[in-house]
Chains A and B, each alone.
Chain A
């Protein structure tokens, strides 16, 4: 009997085009829009080496140390400059005019910087020139006043930058605010699964639909039929979430960190949470389907907003000013579980989020059971 009900409920659910659109295609479309909108933001935050040039003066005592300083910051992956040597002032000026470089240095007793406009890259070039001048001046002063200090490795000390504040990362992953948008989107998709839960309850409660009344008249245990139908809904929803995760990971290159097993587990818990939430609301509200859909929609969208899907800072504003809401918002719990998996080496925060979700699932399921188990209705 389980197989029979499961098979037909699966067919009923998978052929509901409207539900499939909202629970699968809509999140995929939204993820694509997010990707197009946010990837540029990430790109802007990435530092690109500055295209610059140097024109030497021909005085080796000035040119050699400056060129050496420039070379030291123009090597490797994290270099500051893509440095080119211009044969003369005119060539460098021409490159600047053509936009091939953001500015050029002219070495000599005084380091000169020529730029066409002001901007971020030009400010960096100015700062570099100022630092060089400052260090150079310090070394010259010490060499003149205390030449013996140069013997004691002072030159190395002047060149070094000592950090007095130690940066400790919460995890091995790079902080990435953009990810929160995608994680909250997955959470939203899971909560949209509440529509599947709603449909299952509607088709088992004789006081909601005539189909359900007919099922209630069959010699089948009502809760067994409900469990079979809900299992079909879970299989569909979880598959949809896996498709979404695969699209995000492989199609949009969204990182979930190295713990794939936990990510899949989180998606499963999220799917069960969505289903149980929809079933609970459907069982609780006696009014028409429109009101139920509205409630599920509002809870999901407001929850997504508060977890930072439309405005990232909202997540932190809620955490600061309304901390209980962090734990009462199922979308936030799911979003934060994904972020904790990505960012933190420790699983403590993840476990707290999953624990809270499981608690919600137990509460929703228990309440649904108490309502649905009713064997006779006061009115149909």
Chain B
């Protein structure tokens, strides 16, 4: 086990930020910590890394108790902070070299690792640039390079794609998968469910400091009653027709939101054809119609009654 967390409790006065959080993260995983803002993701990481004190619980990394001066453990950990944590007065190369040098003492090895990190985040053309001259996406890549240059076995990435353009986001996600393929275990926090769905092999959903669900994305989706979501763009439908739709076999709910009709069906049902037939038979005009499988947001919604991004 790479990380073992048991009954972690962290309080800020009356607010319980982590409520008996327990996690087990295996070697080679990309482990996702998913939850809305303020759910306790960053607090959990900071407690696991011994940056934050906690009120109760146990944290083990690489099978050993994690403490602030557990240097042998720290040597194999990389961290990419939520906010860009680099020095404005140092160039791209110097920033990476500085942080890498805190882990690796051999100068030749250090130099090689820095070059590899620069190549990994594709900042070769910017090595002499100061951070203030970099765009948001490039800055995020520099932030990642500073955290992973020393080739750690375990990497924590705390919302590394916040405020990043789609192109840079894809590059970052590809990079994370590449790091994992090279052998690193990844702990990834985000409130973007698409990212977590895309790259994580196992996911824990947090809300108010508590684990509300965990498993692979398939296991999580299997936990809920929703099997299919059909969206119809329509201009006019009468209340009586909505009732008829609700009566279709397997339909769980029908909601009209603006000009969209959202029809949710339970597991094992495929209602697209019957919905199409219903619209045709009742001569209800419609624009687009599409069917979706449930997302992690639906999982979160069904369990907590609120949207993931509320």
Contact = CB atoms under 8 A, between A and B. Distances in A.
Interface stretch (A158-166, A171-179, A289-297, A370-378): A370-378
Contact of B79 (A8, A209, A214, A376): A214
A219 B102 contact: yes
Interface stretch (A11-19, A249-257, A258-266, A305-313): A11-19
Interface string B62-75: 00000111011011
B168 interface: no
User: In the complex, which range does the number of interface residues on chain A fall in?
Assistant: 20 to 34
Given A213-B85, A214-B81, A218-B102, A11 B90 contact: yes
B74 A219 contact: yes
A219 B71 contact: yes
Contact of B98 (A8, A209, A217): A8
Given A214-B146, A219-B74, A206 B89 contact: no
Interface in A210-245: 210-211, 213-221
Contacts of B12: 379
Contacts of B83: 210
Given A8-B98, A210-B85, A375-B68, A216 B90 contact: no
A219 B85 contact: no
A375 B52 contact: no
Interface string B143-154: 000110000000
A29 interface: no
A13 B69 CA distance: 27
A203 B102 CA distance: 14
Interface string A188-220: 000000000000000100100111011111111
Contacts of A379: 12, 52
Interface stretch (B28-36, B43-51, B111-119, B197-205): B43-51
A8 B50 contact: no
B52 A218 contact: no
Contacts of B71: 219-220
Contact of A1 (B72, B105, B147): B105
A213 B51 contact: yes
Given A214-B79, A376-B51, A8 B86 contact: no
A4 interface: yes
B46 A380 contact: yes
Contacts of A8: 87, 90, 94, 97-98, 101
B74 A217 contact: yes
B21 interface: no
Contact of B52 (A12, A211, A219, A376): A376
A219 B146 CA distance: 15
Interface in A1-59: 1, 4-5, 8, 11-13, 15-16
Nearest to B85: A210
A219 B70 CA distance: 8
B105 A213 contact: no
A377 B90 contact: no
Contact of A217 (B53, B79, B105): B79
A216 B51 contact: yes
B77 interface: yes
A11 B146 contact: no
B99 interface: yes
A3 to B, nearest CB: 10
A16 B89 CA distance: 7
Given A219-B71, A219-B102, A380-B46, A211 B87 contact: yes
Given A4-B101, A210-B85, A217 B90 contact: no
Contacts of A376: 50-53, 68
A11 B98 CA distance: 11
Nearest to A375: B68
Interface in A141-191: none
A347 B49 CA distance: 54
A27 B10 CA distance: 49
A223 to B, nearest CB: 11
A15 B52 contact: no
B126 interface: no
Nearest to A225: B102
Contact of A215 (B72, B94, B102): B102
Given A12-B89, A209-B85, A214 B53 contact: no
B192 interface: no
Contacts of B94: 8, 11
Nearest to B84: A210
Interface in B96-150: 97-99, 101-103, 105, 146-147
A137 to B, nearest CB: 81
A173 to B, nearest CB: 43
A214 B103 contact: no
A16 B101 CA distance: 22
A214 B69 contact: no
Contacts of A5: 102
Contact of A15 (B86, B89, B99, B103): B89
Nearest to A218: B102
Contact of A380 (B52, B74, B86, B98): B52
B85 A375 contact: no
Contacts of A375: 50, 67-69
A233 to B, nearest CB: 13
A151 B81 CA distance: 103
Contacts of B105: 1, 4
Given A375-B69, A376-B50, A380-B52, A217 B77 contact: yes
B99 A219 contact: no
Contacts of A203: 87
Interface of A: 1, 4-5, 8, 11-13, 15-16, 203, 206, 209-211, 213-221, 375-380
12 contacts: A1-B105, A4-B98, A8-B87, A8-B90, A213-B81, A213-B85, A214-B81, A214-B99, A217-B51, A376-B51, A376-B68, A377-B51
Name the 3 nearest CB pairs between A and B, nearest first: A375-B68, A210-B85, A218-B102
Given A8-B94, A217-B77, A219-B75, 11 more contacts: A11-B90, A11-B94, A12-B87, A12-B89, A210-B84, A211-B87, A214-B79, A219-B103, A376-B50, A377-B51, A378-B52
